[in-house]
């Protein structure tokens, strides 16, 4: 079975050090023959996916808050949407909804579709994805040292603990994070 890994995080770039971690994460994931999914947004998840795409080894699906490709291009004018082998849009019935609401709808679909999620930096939208992954009992890899939500999740989980089958893996090294995440997923698959 090909593992499906969601990449969730900041839709903005946060500096060269974190951008390099995103690239390292994309390269490490590409070496593992996994399918990546993102929220089809700009920023760090896009950087991870773009790096993986450039290796020509990784299939990437984008779960977009857009209704169609034309809107996707308007939402991400500086991104190459050709990196996605598949773009999944929100239902056209929701085209009159505000884009912020459609992003939350996209978050539910993308987190449900993955075996595990990796968090890199992030803001409020990322916390929404983390809470989805947690409630769904997924494996959650957290790339620490990237700021934002990624560096607060452990504290929040301690403070707001509730029953879940979710498993957190906190790691500052992108290659080690991918290794630990895949070991955990494969162990769960075989149990």
List the structure tokens of 77.
Answer: 């004018």
Give the DSSP letter of residue 3: -
Burial (0-12, 13-18, 19+ Cβ within 10 Å), 165:
exposed
The pLDDT value recorded for residue 182 is 97
The predicted pLDDT at position 183 comes to 96
Global pTM exceeds 0.75 = yes
Note whether 22 and 36 are within 8 A (CB): no
CATH of the domain at 10: 3.40.50.450
* Interatomic CA distance for residues 102 and 98, integer angstroms: 7
pLDDT in tens, the chain (191 residues): 789 999 999 987 777 899 999 999 999 999 998 999 999 999 999 999 999 999 988 999 999 999 999 999 999 999 999 999 999 999 989 889 999 999 999 999 999 999 999 999 999 999 999 999 999 999 999 999 999 999 999 999 888 888 999 999 999 999 999 999 999 999 998 88
Q: Answer for the pair 140, 133: CB distance below 8 angstroms, yes or no.
A: yes
Beta-sheet strand order (sheet of 59-63): 86-88, 59-63, 35-38, 4-9, 116-120, 139-143, 167-171
Residue 111 belongs to domain spanning: 4-189
Residue-level pLDDT at 98 = 92
Q: What's the domain count of the chain? A: 1
């Amino acid at each position: 079975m090909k593992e499906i890994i969601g990449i969730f995080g900041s839709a903005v770039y946060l500096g060269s050090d974190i951008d390099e971690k995103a690239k390292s994460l994309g390269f490490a994931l590409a070496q593992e023959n996994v399918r990546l999914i993102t929220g089809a947004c700009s920023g760090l998840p896009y950087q991870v996916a773009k790096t993986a795409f450039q290796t020509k080894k990784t299939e990437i699906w984008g779960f977009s808050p857009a209704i169609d490709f034309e809107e996707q291009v308007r939402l991400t004018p500086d991104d190459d949407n050709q990196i996605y082998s598949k773009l999944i849009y929100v239902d056209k019935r929701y085209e009159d909804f505000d884009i912020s609401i459609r992003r939350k709808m996209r978050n539910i679909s993308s987190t449900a579709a993955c075996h595990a999620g990796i968090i890199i930096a992030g803001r409020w939208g990322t916390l929404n994805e983390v809470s989805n992954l947690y409630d769904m009992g997924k494996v959650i890899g957290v790339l620490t040292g990237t700021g934002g939500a990624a560096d607060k999740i452990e504290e929040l989980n301690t403070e707001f603990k509730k029953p879940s089958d979710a498993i957190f893996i906190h790691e500052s090294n992108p290659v080690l994070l991918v290794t630990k995440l895949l070991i955990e997923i494969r162990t769960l698959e075989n149990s």
